[in-house]
Structure 1
Amino acid sequence: MDKLTRYSLETIWKTEVPVESIEAHAVICLVSEAEWITGHFPESWKQAITSVKERGLFNGSENQMFTIPVKQGNSAATLVLVGTGEHPMSAEELRNLAAKAAKASMQVSADQVVFAMPSSLVSYSATQDVATVAHALTEGFILGTYRRKNYKQNQKAYIGPGKVIFHQEKITIPNFQKEWEKGMSDGKAYAEGTIYARDITNLPGNMLVPEDLARAAEDLANKHGLEYSIMDEKKLEKKGMGGLFSVGKGSIHPPRMIVIKYQGKESWDGEIVGLVGKGITFDTGGISLKPRVGMEEMISDMGGAATVLGVLEALCITRPKRNVLVVIPTAENMPSGGAFKPGDVITTLSGRTVEILNTDAEGRVVLADGMTYAKELGATRLIDVATLTGAVVSALGDVATGAVSNDETFLNSFISASRRTGEKVWPLPAYPEFQEMLRSDVADLRNSTGRNAASSTAGLFIGTFADGMPWIHLDIAGTAFLTKERGVNPKGATGVMVRTIVEWILSDERVV
């Protein structure tokens, strides 16, 4: 799918040569407050550094940044001084710092960038782990280079750095290079999976209908040699997927059910992680029409589908020995003479009936069929990802993803992974009283319970179709699409939860 074509940033490690001898357009130099006072900088930078010191323009304080021209190799370059402060930096701080530095290098249209690190960086970090530091800096830099594609007639030729060279001259830690390259490789995989999710979420609604999303999934599967299947509207109806079929029947672009299998073990049995992503390519609200203000952001209502596809991209780079099943119910929720409507009673793949009270609560309806189908295909643990409720935005803003689960141990392990990636996850209550609110007088469930506890009840609606299987619901309605950039996340699609799901799968692999 050429709409998703993107350049690839090369990352390499280099040592045993003076940093000033490496040809580059920009050099990023991490400097603590102490190192700024006592550090030894290359002779070719001396005049520029001295001038900055004398004028008091930089002192190495945390997140401080200053750029100056220097000689680099045989030509001129921009030196980006980045302050690390005087306290040990966490992985999240390093990640955000690298993203900030990446943006500075793009401001000078740098194609090749050198990331010069002080010899004390690892021991000065909070983790004191080489691979973790390498992972954070690589991931942060790549995520910081991201720019949303635009469709202007006159495009700029420069799209971002083509190569970043991480450099450190003095190495005293055993196996440093091996650990650094492992962390750098994982950081790149996490970032590339996230960027894949961002790119596909940012596509305009006229460029991404259910058939297009299915084609993108097919391209991804073929790229990595994965088994996949796609069901069209006729097969959906025959199969009895009344939830997905009903939501999608109002659009001229019919629904699809997408399945991709990542097989990291020799056989397709035992533990199988099922990832179910909401794929509503555009959500008008259907007959329960949304207000016009802000509706353009509903191109992101397939953010859950984008996340699970981004996870696949990252897994195919890291290649863990786990079996992962991705299921994406995708539809366009439109009002028409053929659309489903309030008061309808539909039958899902599970056999449960659902009373439709609000056609704008369509995501949980398509996910019901996705959950059941994932179980049918062998999933033993389930994670669903969805831009599900406005209520979660009221509760957590655009800062944290809301989570509902039926398994506290499972959820705790996932939240631990989120702390390592810096993606905030907050558990929402799943009280029995909330489950009672889903009861309908005319069907097994109703798809809307009103405003009270709306994020919890929406999650529990989906959880009903887990039928007791360990399950986590992630409501990314607030975190999938931002109105302004923050940290490693740009304005627009964020690819949220790709990194955390991958981190959980990899860390769970180490435990298993």
Structure 2
Amino acid sequence: MKQIESLNKHIVIYPIYDNQPVDSWLCDALGYDVNDIIDKDYAKMTQIHTLGKYPFPYIIFVGLGKEEKLTTAKLRDVAMKVSKDLDKPTQLVVDHLDKTISRQTLVRVWMESHIIAQYKERKIGHDEKDIMDMDVMSVHPVQKEIDEAIIYGTGINYARKLADTPSNLMTPEDMVKEAIEMAKQNGLECTILDKAKLEDMKAGGILSVNLGSHIPAYMICFKHNGDKDAPYKAVIGKGITFDSGGYNLKGNSYGMKYDMCGGADVYGIMQILAQSQAKTNVYGIIPVTENLVNGQAYKPQDVITTLSGKTVEIVSTDAEGRLILCDAITYAQQLGAKKLIDLATLTGACVAALGDVYTGVFCNDEEYYQEFDKAMKASDEKGWRLPLDQAYLDKLQSKSADLKNSMGKPGAGASIAANFLESFVEEGTKWIHLDIAGTADQNGTGATGAMIRSVVELMK
């Protein structure tokens, strides 16, 4: 994918506003006024064959609708629609476009959307689907935007690929191998805390969840140093590679390979930061384990001691994500990070409240939330702020431990979980929790890479 300055034999993609005439050189060569037959309404596509008058076989005119109503979010949607089923190389014509949305922004958004739309989950035993080439025809400099779009698009698709991989082929050990290789390819530092190290640290949250699995737990830590001695931020992702529910067995565990989408997103985020040489310092932390059942598995009413030293009474073994995340939050603070953000497929309650449209957002600091809200708007991603309140934390009081890991009955489950996590955030640390349970995948199939763009924007 590159900038070209003259048209070649590939199919032409020609976006156009409703009040904009087609370039006269096209009409002259074709021998008639195509304005009379193309539909310029938003997201409408008209295919015009060139009948040998050009080296390319046909042009796909793409309606952008009214110029004043086009947003980058709508541009993403129409570009995804165009690219979803393309099976031949194309060339995007943009020199006639530089209005409400600048030519550079249009190229950046369109090319990233093309890469994301072209992704297909790989069938095991088959090759990956190639991303069809799309060049950009322009006499104005847009190669920088193309390169940036490739970094973001491939980073998001990388996270989706990890999450889409079946859990028997993406175990905690596979996650570790993937982390080491990704870090090597992208110039990131990578530290792997194995089970022995976690035991030395007394990371009882993740270790307790791991008891039911024969595959050991790990804490994976990437390090991107792009701003010399500046303070480090941390991005944390839940890495449950499969969740059976433990002794609180799920009635239906289909889709639970996606319980590591938060962790997969961190891989994508760190790759994007590295490849774009972002001038920021960021740790990427992923606690990784399975949540299974055997004779050693943790049980309801067990009491565990987390890395922070706080004790937790287990009410539900299916509320395991918060147990591995609380250790990761403590670890990030031990590393010195004062700004944290975590991504986790944490609660069905968030799915019930927000569906697959909005990500649940929790934050303990107003200024930090405003930074993230600005990042979401710049990234065209949707999040809805949900409450943190001492009254929710009070519902987790235990007679046997400092906290319970679940209220044990329905009601405000997303806020209950977030308040549990907040209790591990130290005074002076700014923290955001993203509950991506509804937005991380498409109803049990197809990872989305939700919130990767927004978190990268926040980190930068």
- TM-score, normalization: structure 2? 0.94
In structure 1, the residue matched to 2:425 is: 466
Is 2:20 the counterpart of 1:35? yes
SS in 2 for 1:206: coil
Within-5 A mapping of 1:105-254: 106=86, 109-110=87-88, 112-119=89-96, 121-125=97-101, 129-151=102-124, 159-161=130-132, 163-168=133-138, 177=141, 180-254=142-216
Q: Distance in 2 between matches of 1:374 and 1:226?
A: 17
SS in 1 for 2:420: helix
In structure 1, the residue matched to 2:45 is: 65
How much does 1:76 deviate? 4.6
Structure 1 residue corresponding to 2:367, chosen from 405, 409, 415: 409
Is 2:66 the counterpart of 1:86? yes
Q: Distance in 2 between matches of 1:141 and 1:79?
A: 17
Within-5 A mapping of 1:355-434: 355-434=313-392
CA distance 1:72–1:368, change in 2 (3 Å) = farther
Q: Cα deviations across residues 117-171 of structure 1 (Å, max 9, x unaligned)?
A: 252x22143xxx4443232112111111111111266x69x6331x3211235xx
Structure 2 residue corresponding to 1:283, chosen from 243, 258, 264: 243
How much does 1:499 deviate? 0.7
Q: Distance in 2 between matches of 1:298 and 1:77?
A: 45
Unaligned runs of 5+ in 2: none
How much does 1:306 deviate? 0.6
Contact 1:388 1:476 in 2 (8 A): yes
CA distance 1:207–1:141, change in 2 (3 Å) = same
SS in 2 for 1:31: strand
In structure 2, the residue matched to 1:4 is: none
Contact 2:30 2:50 in 1 (8 A): no
CA distance 1:133–1:361, change in 2 (3 Å) = same
SS in 2 for 1:229: strand
- TM-score, normalization: structure 1? 0.85
Contact 1:382 1:466 in 2 (8 A): no
Which amino acid in the other structure matches residue 323 of structure 2?
A: V
In structure 2, the residue matched to 1:7 is: none
How much does 1:184 deviate? 2.8
How much does 1:78 deviate? 3.6
Is 2:263 the counterpart of 1:305? yes
SS in 1 for 2:90: strand
Structure 2 residue corresponding to 1:103, chosen from 84, 87, 109: 84
Q: Distance in 2 between matches of 1:72 and 1:250?
A: 66
Contact 2:339 2:431 in 1 (8 A): yes
CA distance 1:69–1:346, change in 2 (3 Å) = same
Contact 1:95 1:136 in 2 (8 A): yes
CA distance 1:467–1:72, change in 2 (3 Å) = farther
In structure 2, the residue matched to 1:509 is: none
Q: Distance in 2 between matches of 1:219 and 1:166?
A: 32
Q: Distance in 1 between matches of 2:39 and 2:261?
A: 41
How much does 1:503 deviate? 1.4
Q: Distance in 2 between matches of 1:133 and 1:150?
A: 33
How much does 1:483 deviate? 3.6
How many residue pairs get aligned? The number is 457
| Of 85-94 and 395-404, the range deviating more from structure 2 | 85-94
Identity %: 36
Q: Distance in 2 between matches of 1:420 and 1:313?
A: 20
In structure 2, the residue matched to 1:457 is: 416
SS in 1 for 2:111: helix
